[in-house]
Amino acid sequence: MDTLKLTLPDGSEKQVTAGTTGLDIAMSISPRLADAAVAVVIDGKQWDLKRALPGSGAFRILTAKDAESLEIVRHSSAHLMAQAIVQLFPGTKLAIGPVIENGFYYDIDSPHKFTPDDFAAIEAKMTELAGQKLSIDRTDIKRLEAIEKWGVQAEPYKVEMMQEWTDETVSYYTQGDFFDLCRGPHVPHTGFLKFVKLLSVAGAYWRGDEKRPMLQRIYATAFHDKKALEAHVTALEEAKKRDHRVIGRKLELFHLQDDMPGMVFWHPQGWALYRALQTYVREKIEAAGYVEVNTPSVASKVLWEKSGHWDKYQDNMFVTESEKRIYAIKPMNCPGHIQIFNQGLRSYRELPLRMAEFGSCVRNEPSGTLHGIMRVRAFVQDDAHIFCTPEQIGQEVADFCKLLKEMYADFGFNEVIVKFSTRPEKRVGTDESWDRVEKALADACEFAGLVTELNPGEGAFYGPKLEFTLKDCLGRHWQCGTIQVDPNLPERLGAQYVGEDGARHTPIMLHRAILGSLERFIGILIENYAGAFPVWLSPVQATILPVSEKFLDAARATASALRKAGLRVTVDEQNQKLGYKIREAEGQRLPFILVVGEKEAASGTVSVRQRGAGDLGAKTIGEFVEFVAGEVAAKR
């Protein structure tokens, strides 16, 4: 009889006969371990507890203590949710139910229209099924038999998937009278699935294809224990409190209105923040050798035809007409920048030419995609186009990446993910040119020492791109920066320079943005800081509170002195007690609150209260200005 050789985590070796299961081994160690075991890992592969081990190798038993066991619990929870839904709502057809970050979902097709009101009943049914500790068992079956077993009528989605597979056998898992096609592994019984919460219901196209049927997707999450589940729910509530739309209103940063969807009205406070951000970007790019320009918002159809936008991007453009000529509002700044490049004869000596613009763009985005100020129709990009030679791409991409990381770090974003997107189906330019440019960008990444994830087919219609995703303090991902290599547009719009050889050449154009859109980036900042902006960005850096109306003039004089020193300050002129005004200013999450009363007015000082630190005592105006300058310089 065959024996398997297992290496346990402590390094010891164990010989077992073929056919032994993980559960057998757990049991031989201790019955308590056997009870707690979720699954095992054999030779790096997760494996059902009750399934005969497939071979020799490193062996581990997964319990709730192992992070990877949570995925298995969630995967099994998806099955349990499906079981509950099918029992409660007969006629429901199942599509897919994968594990995702922080939970899982199941896509279903049902005559019942699910709403959050159904969640309690589904959760109750799941709890009931979990309480029954139904054994979860795997069965292998010939794929063609499985197609019969499921049947096109009953489960068209499962059948469609199986028809596309090429494996000879597939597997399914049974719990009670429910079974579901699945690769596994799963927990041994439903008793592991007691801490589940349904979160939301949403539409989702079958296989993500907008031409296929719309299914109902139920999002949910599951944990090993009640405490972890509750902590997650609390975290979701915290994230909700950071919603930029809620904070934006509370801090009077901006508003949106129904009759002009996707357009932001910046209020004085929000605009101060916007300008602080813009000033920062300006300083950074000027130091990095960029020149700033500004180009018209509306351009003739003729230009968009030449650039290719009319063909490839028309659906997203607002088009208008005047005196029988057709115009479109610019959705991008690149054609405009080439118009500036094309004025006069350019020399290779001018390259690389880094042309920046806070480019105001308008894109007619589908209504369903709009979201607060994160996704709007009118926005400003911290855009720039670098005109360079093919040889300069590597250095320019490397310099750009350095600048980007430096700037993200100033906001406390230290983790950046880079994606490499290659040629899409809808594109301009020859395959040879795409080959060349994709290689140039790949080489540039290597030169810059970037680790990239490949994103095939996701490039812009004119060229391949890198996309930079930052992680905020809640661990959420935001794609912001991008750099795109474009040999096509300069060619189409006739950009040329005179080379060292005296001949005319077409430059390469690098489209690049670091923050992406200022609107979106501010949305991210609001949520990242929960409205408590660092002093250097804060719309109001300090507010001055007179102890009573008698000291209003002294407060105003202080404000005027601080404004002269370049600080953004306000005076709280409300006829209220000090405690009330402090409470309100704290609610606005301002970095500094300055109290001016009899003592301060007489000595030319302010009593400083710093956000998070409390009362710092009295400082002269000069001392305070210096203190703030230090905080600003440190980007605190």
Residues that are catalytic? 334, 363, 381, 383, 385, 465, 511
DSSP state of 507: P
Interface positions, 147-166, toward RNA (CB under 7 A): none
Minimum distance between the CB of residue 547 and RNA, rounded to whole angstroms?
5
Please give the structure tokens belonging to residue 363: 């894109």
Minimum distance between the CB of residue 281 and RNA, rounded to whole angstroms?
14
Quote the CA–CA distance of 273 and 271 in Å, as a whole number: 5
* Residue 197 contacts RNA per CB under 7 A: no
Comparison of 154 and 613: residue with beta carbon closer to RNA: 613
Q: Which of 328, 400, 600, 628 binds RNA (CB under 7 A)?
A: 600
Which residue in the block uniquely carries the two structure tokens 């901006």? 254
**Binding-site residue total for RNA (CB under 7 A)?**
73
Minimum distance between the CB of residue 276 and RNA, rounded to whole angstroms?
19
Quote the CA–CA distance of 567 and 535 in Å, as a whole number: 10
DSSP state of 9: T
The answer to whether 464 touches 487, Cβ cutoff 8 Å, is no
The answer to whether 272 touches 539, Cβ cutoff 8 Å, is yes
Q: Which of 48, 155, 357, 365 binds RNA (CB under 7 A)?
A: 365
Classify the C-alpha dihedral 386-390-391-394 as positive or negative: positive
Q: Which stretch binds RNA (CB under 7 A): 60-68, 167-175, 290-298, 475-483?
A: 475-483
Interface positions, 231-260, toward RNA (CB under 7 A): 245-246, 249, 256, 258-259
Quote the CA–CA distance of 322 and 305 in Å, as a whole number: 17
Beta carbons within 10 angstroms of residue 377's beta carbon:
21
* Residue 371 contacts RNA per CB under 7 A: yes
Q: Which stretch binds RNA (CB under 7 A): 41-49, 110-118, 391-399, 443-451?
A: 110-118
Q: Which of 344, 368, 449, 502 binds RNA (CB under 7 A)?
A: 368
Terminal Cα distance for the chain, rounded? 69
Q: Which of 10, 101, 210, 321 binds RNA (CB under 7 A)?
A: 210
Complete DSSP assignment for 356-370: EEEEEEE----GGG-
Please give the structure tokens belonging to residue 385: 């186009």
Kindly report the three-state secondary structure assignment for every residue of 164-178. Answer: HCCCCEEEEEEECCE
Q: Which of 11, 111, 344, 366 binds RNA (CB under 7 A)?
A: 366
Comparison of 307 and 392: residue with beta carbon closer to RNA: 307
The kind and range of the H/E element at 120 are: helix 119-131
Q: Which of 89, 119, 205, 627 binds RNA (CB under 7 A)?
A: 205
Q: Which of 152, 214, 302, 473 binds RNA (CB under 7 A)?
A: 214
Minimum distance between the CB of residue 339 and RNA, rounded to whole angstroms?
21
Interface positions, 442-471, toward RNA (CB under 7 A): 458, 460, 467
Minimum distance between the CB of residue 45 and RNA, rounded to whole angstroms?
28
The kind and range of the H/E element at 380 are: strand 378-388
**Closest by alpha carbon to 603, among 591, 588, 576, 621?**
621
Rg of the chain over CA atoms, in angstroms?
Answer: 31
Interface positions, 519-538, toward RNA (CB under 7 A): 519-520
Order of strands across the sheet with 39-42?
13-17, 3-7, 57-62, 39-42, 45-47
Comparison of 443 and 549: residue with beta carbon closer to RNA: 549
The answer to whether 103 touches 219, Cβ cutoff 8 Å, is yes
Minimum distance between the CB of residue 624 and RNA, rounded to whole angstroms?
13
Comparison of 30 and 479: residue with beta carbon closer to RNA: 479
| ∠ CA 456-213-72, rounded to 5° | 65
Q: Which of 74, 363, 385, 427 binds RNA (CB under 7 A)?
A: 363
Q: Which stretch binds RNA (CB under 7 A): 24-32, 268-276, 365-373, 526-534?
A: 365-373
The kind and range of the H/E element at 142 are: strand 136-142
Q: Which of 547, 562, 567, 628 binds RNA (CB under 7 A)?
A: 547
Interface positions, 482-521, toward RNA (CB under 7 A): 482, 513, 516-517, 519-520
**Closest by alpha carbon to 39, among 20, 57, 59?**
59
Order of strands across the sheet with 378-388?
291-292, 353-362, 378-388, 508-517, 477-486, 465-471, 416-421, 452-455
Q: Which stretch binds RNA (CB under 7 A): 12-20, 133-141, 181-189, 203-211?
A: 203-211
Please give the structure tokens belonging to residue 543: 């507010």
Interface positions, 111-150, toward RNA (CB under 7 A): 113-115
Comparison of 344 and 579: residue with beta carbon closer to RNA: 579
The kind and range of the H/E element at 84 are: helix 68-88
Please give the structure tokens belonging to residue 297: 């918002």
Burial class (CB in 10 A: 0-12, 13-18, 19+), 362: buried
Stretch 16-55: interaction string toward RNA, x if CB under 7 A: ----------------------------------------
Quote the CA–CA distance of 197 and 119 in Å, as a whole number: 8
Interface positions, 74-103, toward RNA (CB under 7 A): none
Minimum distance between the CB of residue 520 and RNA, rounded to whole angstroms?
5
* Residue 170 contacts RNA per CB under 7 A: no
Q: Which of 45, 241, 504, 577 binds RNA (CB under 7 A)?
A: 577
Please give the structure tokens belonging to residue 614: 């409390």
Comparison of 249 and 436: residue with beta carbon closer to RNA: 249
* Residue 575 contacts RNA per CB under 7 A: yes
Q: Which stretch binds RNA (CB under 7 A): 18-26, 200-208, 334-342, 411-419?
A: 200-208
Minimum distance between the CB of residue 347 and RNA, rounded to whole angstroms?
31
Minimum distance between the CB of residue 542 and RNA, rounded to whole angstroms?
13
Q: Which of 35, 283, 586, 626 binds RNA (CB under 7 A)?
A: 586
Comparison of 425 and 501: residue with beta carbon closer to RNA: 425
How many angstroms from the chain centroid is the CA of residue 83?
32
Please give the structure tokens belonging to residue 190: 């439903």
Q: Which of 8, 64, 530, 578 binds RNA (CB under 7 A)?
A: 578
